[in-house]
Structure 1
Amino acid sequence: MTGRIASPCVGLCSTTVGDRVCRGCQRVDDEIRDWPALDGETREGRMAELDALREEAAGRFLRVVDAAALEAQLVRHGIRFRAEQPPLSRAVELLRVGRDRIRDLSRYGLMPHEPLDAATLHAGIADALMAAAEHRRLDLVTLS
């Protein structure tokens, strides 16, 4: 019996509508296709890269002031996360799912650098993530 293959997929694959980079997980379309064939070490490395990308993008807009509160809210709302996933990467998922319902970010252990609402924070982070992911895609094309 094989174990579950860990994946950064969040169930929002925009590559099915023609994007070369997924808006949900920031992977390149070829990478999504080839994911199941990658060995565990390669998948873990790529997930760490995606976490770093999310930390960098989210860190431009907010910081985590209470990681335990963030985790409790993720659990409360049934938002999937990994034990080794850094708090800022987790915050990206929280904002993706709850951006239209979150009113007080401090209750989620988050503090924006500027007084922005959750939807505005999510939009800025999503734009930064897509720009970085597209840059990575172009780097991969150049290397091949």
Structure 2
Amino acid sequence: MNTNSTRTPCIGVCSTTSVGDAICRGCKRYAFEVIRWNGYTDMEKEAVLRRIEALTVQIMQDKFVILSEELLMTGVTRHKLPVNPSLSPYCWLHNLLKKGRPESLVLADYGVAVTQAYRHVPLEGLAELVDEELLVLGEAHFARYFQSVDSLA
């Protein structure tokens, strides 16, 4: 993976440094990862990015279908949003929903559709639901793989 194309997964809405959250509401890194990021090796950065990608894809695929990666990339680029082309397009879409204004987005213009199960939910509410679910998954992952290690020390 080329970590030089995206030095950091930050999308400019950091809540770990501004309000003290344990998990950033923007990029979904843990606070200690945000703080230590510049000291991480490429392999460590890749591991963080792949964890966030796996959690994001799991949630996003349930709610959205990407019909055109090209349209999505064009739209994300047009909005000048940070994007890592080596990550899943569902990560690009998540950045669009986080940094864009969901209430004014027409997903078809980005080559994206909402799955049948969620078509009744307004896009703004769907974006909030995605973030809530990502936070829950991130917290569960942290509890499983990081807190248990701390408690043994």
Shared fold (TM-score, shorter chain, > 0.5): yes
- 2:148 alignment counterpart: 142
- 2:127 alignment counterpart: 122
SS of residue in 2 equivalent to 1:111: strand
1:105 aligns with 2:107: yes
Report the AA paired with residue 133 of structure 2: A
85 and 5 in structure 1: CA distance in 2 versus 1, 3 angstrom threshold: closer
Q: How many residues align?
A: 141
Map 1:49-88 onto structure 2 (within 5 A).
Answer: 49-88=51-90
TM-score with structure 1 setting the length: 0.90
The answer to whether the 8 Å contact 1:79/1:94 transfers is yes
Question: How big is the alpha-carbon RMSD for the aligned residues of Structure 1 and Structure 2?
Answer: 1.6
Post-superposition offset of 1:26: 1.2
Map 1:7-18 onto structure 2 (within 5 A).
Answer: 7-16=8-17, 17-18=19-20
Larger mean Cα displacement after TM superposition, 10-19 or 122-131: 10-19
Post-superposition offset of 1:100: 2.7
The answer to whether the 8 Å contact 1:5/1:36 transfers is no
TM-score with structure 2 setting the length: 0.85
Which segments of 5 or more consecutive residues in structure 2 lack a partner in the other structure? none
Which of structure 1's runs of 4+ aligned residues deviate more than 6 A? Answer: none
| Same amino acid, percent of matched pairs | 23
Post-superposition offset of 1:5: 7.1
The answer to whether the 8 Å contact 1:21/1:137 transfers is no
Report the AA paired with residue 148 of structure 2: T
Quote the Cα distance in structure 2 between the aligned partners of 1:82 and 1:11.
15
The answer to whether the 8 Å contact 1:65/1:111 transfers is yes
123 and 5 in structure 1: CA distance in 2 versus 1, 3 angstrom threshold: closer
Post-superposition offset of 1:76: 1.2
- 1:91 alignment counterpart: 93
